[in-house]
Amino acid sequence: MPILLIINGYPGSGKTTIANQFAQKNNFALINQDIFLFQLNAFFKNKIINHQEHIITIENIHDCLLNYMHFKKNIVLEGALVSISNKDPIDLNYFIKLAKKMKYKVVIVTLIAKEKIRVKRQKKRNYVLPRDIDKKICQAVSEVDKKIDNEIIIDSSNYSIKTTLQKLDQIISEFN
C-alpha cells in the first residue's frame, strides 16, 4: 500500500528541509504547500493571501495529489497545513480523507521547535514571519494535533537534520 507522509508543523521547524531530503532519498513525490501558495500563483511572501487564493491552492494540491495517487506513488505533502482565519480554509482532514479513499497509508509527522530556534532559521532564509502570524500558526498546529490520531511529533530543536531524517526513516519503516 502506498504512503502519504504529511509533514505539518511550525514555521521554521524544518518542514521543507526535512521533506526535500526525505523525498529525494526515498524516491517519494514531493508536494510543497508554499510552492502552490506563493510561487505558482506568483504571490510574494509578504502579500496577504485572500480566501479565493487559498481555495485555488487547496484545489491545486488536491489535483496534484490525485495525479500521483493515480500512479500509486509514495508522496510527501509538506507545509503548515492549518487555517489561522476564515480566509484560509485548509483542513488536514481533507487530504487524509482523500488518501484513505485512494487506499493510501497516511503517516502524519508534526515538526515543532523552540521559538528562538525557529526565528534563527527564518532569518537564515531571509524571511521572518510577523510574530502574531507565527503565533497563530503554532496555535493552529497545536489544535490540529489534538484532533489527529496516531500523529507523531518531533521537536526538531533537539535534533540535527541527519537525526531527524533517521527518526523519519524509522517511523516510515514501522508503517511498511
Greater confidence (132 vs 8) lies with 8
Q: How does strand 75-78 pair with strand 3-9?
A: parallel
pLDDT at 136 over 60: yes
Looking at mean pLDDT, say which of 26-40, 68-82, 120-134, 139-153 comes out highest. Answer: 68-82
Q: Whose grid coordinates read 491552492?
A: 57
Greater confidence (149 vs 102) lies with 102
Mean pLDDT score, 116-140: 85
pLDDT at 21 over 60: yes
What is the pLDDT at residue 145?
Answer: 65
d(CA 136, CA 141): 9
pLDDT at 103 over 80: yes
Give phi and psi for 116, each to the nearest 5.
-60, -40
Could you state, in order of their start, the residue ranges of all structural domains in the chain?
3-175
State how far the alpha carbon of 73 is from the alpha carbons of 57, 65, 92, 161, in Å.
21, 9, 20, 25
Q: What CATH number should be reported for the domain whose range is 3-175?
A: 3.40.50.300
What is the pLDDT at residue 129?
Answer: 81
Collapse the DSSP code of 97 into the 3-class scheme (helix H, G, I; strand E, B; otherwise coil) and give the result: helix
pLDDT at 47 over 70: no
| Percentage of the chain lying above the pLDDT 90 cut | 49
pLDDT at 176 over 90: no
Residue 28 sits at the vertex; the CA angle it makes with 81 and 100, to the nearest 5 degrees, is: 60
Looking at mean pLDDT, say which of 32-41, 98-107, 132-141 comes out highest. Answer: 98-107
The per-residue pLDDT for range 55-77, each reduced to its tens digit, is 888 899 999 999 999 999 999 99
